Amino acid sequence: MHTTVIAARLGPNIAAFTCQIDGRVVAVVNTLASTDAQLRTQITWALLATGMDAGHAIGALHGVRS
């Protein structure tokens, strides 16, 4: 399953959310993950729950941290 990951400012209390758009899974992750280890952990679990493998989840987080 292919998951599209988008980074957005979601505030300090939301790590990520997932949804489906036209039958595709989309994950929106918080840009604050670049400085908050707790958010990064929560985002990783959200991405894994969409069916994304761990390598892609970590790659997505590196993209947010760049």
Contact 33/61 with Cβ under 8 angstroms?
yes
Q: What is the mean pLDDT of residues 36-46?
A: 89
Q: CB–CB of 1/10 below 8 Å? A: no
- Residue 54: per-residue pLDDT: 78
DSSP string across 15-55: -EEEEEETTEEEEEEEGGGGT-HHHHHHHHHHHHHTT--HH
pTM to 2 decimal places = 0.77
Of 11-15, 43-47, 50-54, the range with the highest mean pLDDT is 11-15
- What average pLDDT does this structure show over 30-49? 88
Answer yes or no: is pLDDT of 8 > 50. yes
- Asked if pLDDT for residue 64 goes beyond 70, the answer is no
